[in-house]
Each structure stands twice: as C-alpha cells, then as structure tokens.
Amino acid sequence: MDANLTGKSDDELMVLFQNGVQEAFEEVVLRYKNGLYQYILSLVKDDGAAGDLFQEVFLALFTHAADFRAEGKLKSWLFQTARNKVLHFWRDSKTPLSLDETDEEGNAFWHETLAEDSPALLDVLQTQELGEKIRQAADKLPPRQREVIFLRQYMSFKEMSEFLHRPIGTVLADCHRGLQKMKVLLSQGDVL
Amino acid sequence: MNCENLLFYVQGELDESALRAFEAHLKTCARCQKDLLFVRRADQALAAPAAPGALVDKLFAKTTRKQSFWVRYKTVWLGFVAAAVVGVLFIPHPDKTPTLNAEVLAYLSENLDADYQTFASDLAEFENEF
C-alpha cells in the first residue's frame, strides 16, 4: 500500500479513486474495515451475515464512487449504509430487530442507579477475563444501547447525534444507560 | 452537574473551560474516578478487532483486483488447448492405426491370401493366352 495514501483524508482518497487510483479505494477499505465490521457484527451477531453485509457496503461505495461528493462525510456514509443494510437484513429475517427498543426508564446520571460499587465488582475489574466479560455484557444490551456503545468507538456524540437523527442528549442518555446496564450485568455475574 | 460530562470528557468533546472544570471535579469525585476507570476498561475491551483478512481479500477480488474473464480462466483455456493438441496428435485415427489385434490380422491375411491366389491364377491364365 502506498505510504502516501495513508496520510490523505477520506475526501482526497475518494477523489483519487474517482480519477482511477484503485489503491485509494483499498486504503479506504483498510481504514474503516475493522470499525465497520465490528459495528455490523454487534448488530447482527452472526459472522457470516456480518461478512456479507460488510462486503455489500464497500461494493456499494465501489459501484457508486462516481456519484460521491467530497463533503467530509465518507465515514457517516459508510456507517449509514451499513445501518440500512442491517435494518434490511433484520426485516427479511424471522426475528425482526428494532434499533429503537429500550428497556430502561432512564436516569439523568447513570452512576446513580448502578449496582453498589462493591469490592466484588472491583475485583472483577482485575481479572484477565474482564475484556471478554465486558464484550459479553455489551452483547446483552438492547439494540439501541448496544449500537450507541459501539458507535462511540468511532464517532463523537455530535456525530452520533447527526448519524442517528436523535438529539445529542438522547444519545448521551442511551450511552449512559448502556454502560450502567453493563456494570449491573458484570456485578451480578450475568455474563458467561 | 460535572458528573454528566464524564462521557464528553472521555470522548474529548469538552471545550477548554469545560475540560478544566471537569478535571478539577475529577480530582475530588471518587465515583467519577471509578466510572472513568470502567469506561476506559470498556473501551479497551470493545476496541474493534481486525476484520477477517479473507473477507477483505474477497472484497478486493471483486473490486480493485478483479480479473477479466479470460485471465481468470486462463488455466482452463490453456488446458482445453493442450487437450485438443494432444487429441489431434495422439488419439489413434482408425485409418492409420496399426492394429495389434491378432484375430483381425489373421482374418485379413486369410482374405489377402485368398485374394492373392485369385490374382495369381488370373495372371497365370492371362500369360498363358499371350
């Protein structure tokens, strides 16, 4: 991979690709492959389906690259396309998924409703299996909270607000509730 | 109110004044300190693992590294051509193949002998007349 491409912005890469530089498209794929794959996988929870949808997103970009306008929104486009494809995937499946579901009443500050910070929980934080337990706890979240928890790895709250078409306060509250629930799950040992 | 800024702080979305205010708050709020620890541990655990390499290779094979139909099946075409050459050169032609079938050879020899004798007899008769 051309080292010069790694320092280029998303828009610059897309312009290069529109002008025939195939490596520019590959750089875009390499730049977003991990985050996009994880985001899709977090929502569909199936490696095969995630792989198919992952390819569909980038194939769509490849096919419609000529129509892409360099406005600094490639990341948003990729994740939005992925989200749409996930929604279509679930719509066609037997167990429909709603990304608006939530089972939380919500509180202003997430730590006010957390399980007590017992030594047991802090001990859990020291174990080597913590990473796996955290991932399992995140997987148990309702889709709406799970989506925000994972999107937070790649987007600011402002970006998430625009991406999800929700007020920033709502996104923040969803994230709070998600993290709160994860702590409860971990403290109760409700993850395998 | 500063506790609410914990996630903005982690995301790096606080402006300078809010950042200073929260950092000052963090020094005195034990709950925020523990919550911050948890959020950072969660971020480490949830960091995106690498997408499967085979998946990316497959994507590239369909896009930037897609081969033309002829190039992709070059081996197959070459195989067909080679098979055709071998067929022309080495598959036995019924008219030219020397048969090793003893029975057939003997049969032909019998006919040939019979035909030869007939010919020899006719020739002798012809010579006698002339």
Q: Is A61 on the interface with B (CB under 8 A)?
A: no
- CB A79 within 8 Å of CB A39: yes
Q: How far is it, in rounded angstroms, from Cα A11 to Cα A92?
A: 34
> A115: Cβ–Cβ under 8 A, 6 or more apart, which residues?
A121, A183, A184, A187, A188
For the segment A1-11, the average pLDDT, to the nearest whole number, is: 83
Query: How large is the average pLDDT for residues B6-15?
Result: 93
Q: Mind telling me how many Å the CA of A164 is from chain B's nearest CA?
A: 17
pLDDT at residue A131 in the model: 85
CA distance B61 to B67: 8
- This model of the complex carries an ipTM of 0.75
Cβ atoms of A29 and B56 within 8 Å: the answer is yes
pLDDT band at A2 (very low <50, low <70, confident <90, very high): low
Q: Chain B within 8 Å of A32 (Cβ-Cβ)? A: no
Nearest CA to A147 out of A159, A131, A156, A160 is that of: A160
Answer yes or no: are the C-beta atoms of A40 and A86 closer than 8 Å.
Answer: yes
Say whether pLDDT at B130 is over 70: no
Between chains, do B63 and A58 touch, taking CB under 8 Å as contact? Answer: yes
**B83 — contact with chain A (CB < 8 Å)?**
no
Number of Cβ atoms within 10 Å of the Cβ of A140: 14
Q: How far is B76 from chain A (nearest CA, A)?
A: 28
Q: What is the pLDDT of residues B14-39, one digit of tens each?
A: 999 999 999 999 999 998 999 999 99
Residue count of chain A: 192
Which candidate in B1, B7, B32, B66 is best for mutational testing of the A interface (most A CBs within 10 A)? B7
Length of chain B, in residues = 130
Q: Cα–Cα–Cα angle for A158, A160, A164, nearest 5°?
A: 125
Q: Side chain identity at B118, as an amino acid letter? A: T
Residue from A40, A42, A130, A134 whose CB has the most chain B CBs within 10 Å, to mutate: A134
Q: Which is more confident, B35 or B120? A: B35
pLDDT tens-digit readout, A122-156: 454 555 578 888 999 999 999 999 999 999 998 99
Q: Which residue has the tokens 């948890």?
A: B38
